[in-house]
Structures are given as C-alpha cells and as structure tokens.
Amino acid sequence: MLLGENGALLGSATAEHAPFASPRTAWAEQDPADWWRASQEALRAVLSQTGVAADAISCIGLSGQMHGAVLLDAGGAVLRPSIIWCDQRTEAECRWLDDTVGRDRLLQLTSNPALTNFTLTKLLWVRRHEPDVWSRVRHVLLPKDYIRFRLSGEHAIDVADASGTLMLDVAHRRWSREMLDAVGVDERLLPAVFESPAISARVSREAAALTGLSAGTPIVAGAGDQAAGAIGMGITRPGAVSATIGTSGVVFAATDRPATDPRGRIHTFCHAIPGRWHVMGVTQAAGLSLKWFRDQIVGGATYDDLTAEAGRVEPGADGVLWAPYLMGERTPHCDPNARAALVGLAASHGRGHIVRAILEGVAFSLRDTFSIFSELDLPVDSVRLGGGGSRSPLWRQIQADVYGRAVDTVQADEGAAYGAAILAAVGIGLWPTVDAACDALVRRATVTEPRPAQIAAMNHQYAAYMRLYPALGSIHG
C-alpha cells in the first residue's frame, strides 16, 4: 500500500500466499518463504501500478500476523515451517509454564498468562519435540519481522508485536530477562526491540534487486496486525475501542497504563504509540466461522448471498445459537480444547437462520470482552468497527444491537497496512506524533445506531449464549 505525503492512497496491491496447513488436529503452520514471495510480488505490483519511482519512497512500514515463530539457523535459513498464531498444540507447555514460573509470576513478568497462541510456548514445544531443530536455532523472528530480515538482513521487532511472545516485560517495554532465565531461553536468540515508529533497518541491495525498492530506504519497526490496525482506525487514546472481525475477532482498547486482568482473560500489550499500552480480547474464529460455513458446509454461495438470507431472519435467529469455538477460544475462556456448536435447530429453520446465528454468535463472543472491560473500569467512549466484518451492513447492525452502542467505520478500511504506513510517516517526521497523524488522516465513514427493541432481543439471546460454553464443556471435557 502506497501513501502520498498528504496521506492519500496512491495505490495498493495484493498477492496471495498459501493458507495455513494443519497436518494434525489444532495445528497451524505456514512457510515463511511463501510470505516473502508474496511480499515481493505485491511490492513490484504497487510500484508498477502507481508509476512512483523507487527513490521517491521515503520510508517503509510493516505489519503482519502476530505470535508466529520463525526459526532461523546461523546462516538465516528457515529451519521448519512457522507455527502460527492460531496453532493450539502447546497446551502441555502452558501447563509447564504455570507449574515452573507460576500463573501470578507470569502476570507480574509479562502482564499475560500462558496461552497456546503465544510465541514462547511454540519455542518450548520445538525444544521438547524437535531437539535437532532447536539445537540449530540462532534467531527467532515473528512473521512480519522475517520480511524485514529479507528486506534488510536485520533482526528487529517492535514492542507491540513482542508483547505477544510472553517474553516481553510489557510494563517496561523490554525483553524480560527474569522470564527468559526462568525458562532457559537465551536472549541472544531474540531480535532487538524498537518502538513502532522508530527506524529499525534499511533496504539492502539484494532486496532492492528483488523488489524494485531503492537500497537504503528506511524501514520503521512497524507493529503486529492488531496494533497497526488500531492505528489505521484511529484507536490511539483511552476510551477509544475497536471491534475488528477478520479471520479472528479482536476488541481492542487503548490505555495510558499497562492494565492487567488478574484472571488473564484479556491480553495486555504495548501499543504502537510510545508510552501507551492496549488491552484486547480475542475470538479465535470470528470471520473464520462464516468462511468455514460457506466453504465446508454450503459451497457455491457468496458472502452476499448468505448475509442477504440472514437479513430476512428476525434478530435472535428464532433461538438458534452458534458457539464460535472452531479453533479453541482465547477470551474469556483461555481454552484450546473448546469446540464449536450450533444448537437450537428445528425443522422450520433454514440456511438464513444458521447464518444469522453465526453472525450473532461472533458478536456475542466479542461482547464478552466488553464485559471484562467494564469489570476493570476501562472506559469505552466510542466503538469503531474494522476488518471484513465491518463491510457488511447487517453485521454492523448486529454488533450495534449486541453491544448496545453506536458503532462507526472509517473511510480507509485497509486496517493494518494503513496503520503501518502511518507509522512510517511518523518515523521520518511527516507528523510529529502518531496521535497527530491519526487526527489528520483517519476519517469516519458510517455510523450505525443500535435499535432499542433489538437490544432487548440481543440481551435475551446473549444470556442464553453465556450458558453454551459450560454446557459444551460437560460434553467435551
């Protein structure tokens, strides 16, 4: 994505890479070389499309999926496929961390509990199950930081993405030596940590030849997809909250302190803004729920077809409920073994009822995070929607009714890519701060008001939804 100095979108390009492979139940892996191939293609395409000279590009920002583990040997070669964010194989490693370090100590050191998604648990799994691979590991990178390495030869990470590794002292924005010592991981394996708008590397001659970029172009640290997406949506100050539905679903709130949930149900991370933090709750399978239904169950229907049918069904889906636990669940259950369920079906129900239940079930799952914010006295002054789910008028309305609040969207809905470009602009001084850049560039597009009668119906259905997880646990537990 290429922005002009005034923040105008000059052009964008997309290159497909392979979806994740799941060689065993609850496993998820990708090939980092495929990310690099797609990145090269997209970079060359956007330069060709816009006709902008490479030497006119003043800075590069990066974003990408969080929590993945890219393991490199001394020569920079990838040692195994990356175990990515939604992988659930590390339950035993989480238990080991709870027993070895202790749940309370984990929260003190990293502001977060041991969860299967976090990078450290993946490193411990490889150390235990693939000792030959582990013995050759010399560098650990997250997905976007592997792209930085291929662009520049540098090993670097930002504080926001590093927060999702379970190895960062989130309160002090540095690697936690106490945590690393407790688990026996050498800090020399980890990249240097930067604030998100800081220049961390420059494009190498080799990468310039492959991508069409100009050698020496600065690269800021950037941020993981959630923090960068929040920047792209203007979620920078306390009270501003976003609800984003992509493959996963995230409710994200900016804070001026590292607010920690003592029960570990939400994540406490550094924000992409120096001196600021954020909290977020995560639904593992948000947009994935609808994609799974379309691809695996229906076949041949478009999202527009499905949501049109759902729009003809009354709120509450005539009692049909969806528990969106296709990939386990993070917030609020922290349960990698949770499983999805569709309940309340009758012979009178059709596909529209099921789709509506899926849309509502994902919104209910996100509402769980709002409930935790309320418990922790975190302000919610405004709610902004993002991701593919925000493009559906029906899903926007469902979210407004479920949250009982007005929700809005922004004009530039490129999310994390837009946020990464804003961070690059701040990094070279086009704006003095991230706040100033977002105030100048982020514009509201739509507002959806909740409907009082539907709020009541959604509250009733949400109460039923909250009884689903305990009931499902009695089956799967």
225 annotated active-site: yes
Bridge partners, residue 82, by sequence: 30
Q: Which residues contact 267 (CB under 8 A, 6 or more apart)?
A: 112, 163, 164, 279, 280, 281, 282, 330
Diameter of the chain by CA atoms?
Answer: 65
From 87, 161, 169, 225, active-site residue = 225
Tell me the two tokens of residue 88.
């659930």
Per DSSP (E only), the strands in 137-208 are 139-141, 156-158, 168-169, 174-175, 192-194, 199-202
* Nearest Cα residue to 391 out of 244, 279, 194, 203: 244
Given a contact cutoff of 8 angstroms between Cβ atoms, the answer to whether 97 and 113 are in contact is: no
Q: Are strands 407-410 and 277-283 parallel, antiparallel or unpaired?
A: unpaired
CA contacts within 13 A on the Cβ side of 28: 19
H/E element holding 64?
Answer: strand 63-64
- Nearest to 143, CA basis, from 71, 76, 49, 74: 71
Which of 247, 252, 244, 257 lies closest to 281, judged by CA?
252
Is 86:168 a contact under the CB 8 Å cutoff?
no
Catalytic (active-site) positions:
225
